[in-house]
Amino acid sequence: MSVALRNAQRSVPVRRAPLRRAVCALRAALGASRFDVGLVCAGNALMQRLNGAYRQCPEPTDVLSFPFHQVAAGELPRPRCRDEYNLGGIFLGGEYIYQPPARAWRAAGLARGSVGNTCVVFPPPVQVTAAHGLCHLLGYRHDTKPEWEQMYQKEAQILEE
């Protein structure tokens, strides 16, 4: 199914095709390829308005997810008709994601760090944020430590695939 992508900001250049491919790959890793998802790249002003309206936190943020279905963590929706093959919408705060100190993540679309003597290559931050948003659409939360651990493990798993 489709990934509808809209760029509603001008602060950060958006490479639509790679972002769409990344979201499709993440969605497939979650076993949700047959579901549509909407993706909006937004600036700080829009993210602040949405965060204030829906979470009573009038600050910009990196990601907001609006699920179409209410499901338990790790469960796929069970659509009753064709129109219900929709995960929901994700707003990515591109301006927020790429503000300093995230500049180090942007080099060539990858970030490099070291753990001991091992070189670690991290996925681009927008991909990590999209994975986080997709997990929210599928019922994952991080309100408690066990929920956070479950969500973190799922994010790490799908980012590896």
Top pLDDT among 107 and 155 is at: 155
- Residue 130: in which H helix or E strand, if any? helix 125-137
- Residue 70: per-residue pLDDT: 97
Of 122, 102, 106, nearest to 114 by C-alpha is 122
pLDDT band at 123 (very low <50, low <70, confident <90, very high): low
pLDDT single digits (tens) 28-86: 999 999 999 999 999 999 999 999 999 999 999 999 999 999 999 999 999 999 999 99
pLDDT single digits (tens) 81-122: 999 999 999 999 999 988 765 544 444 344 444 344 444 344
Phi, psi angle pair for 64, to nearest 5°: -130, 135
Low-confidence winner among 26-30, 119-123, 147-151 (lowest mean pLDDT):
119-123
**pTM, rounded to two decimals:** 0.84
CATH number of 148's domain: 3.40.390.30
Q: Residue 47 is part of which domain span?
A: 3-160
Say how far residue 26 (Cα) sits from the centre of its chain: 9
Which residue is it, tokens 């993706």? 39
Whether the per-residue pLDDT at 9 is higher than 60: the answer is yes
pLDDT band at 124 (very low <50, low <70, confident <90, very high): confident
Q: How many independent structural domains does the chain possess? A: 1
Q: For residues 139 and 71, give the distance between their C-alpha atoms in angstroms, rounded to a whole number.
A: 5
Q: In 10 A of CB 25, how many CB atoms?
A: 17
- Residue 125: per-residue pLDDT: 86
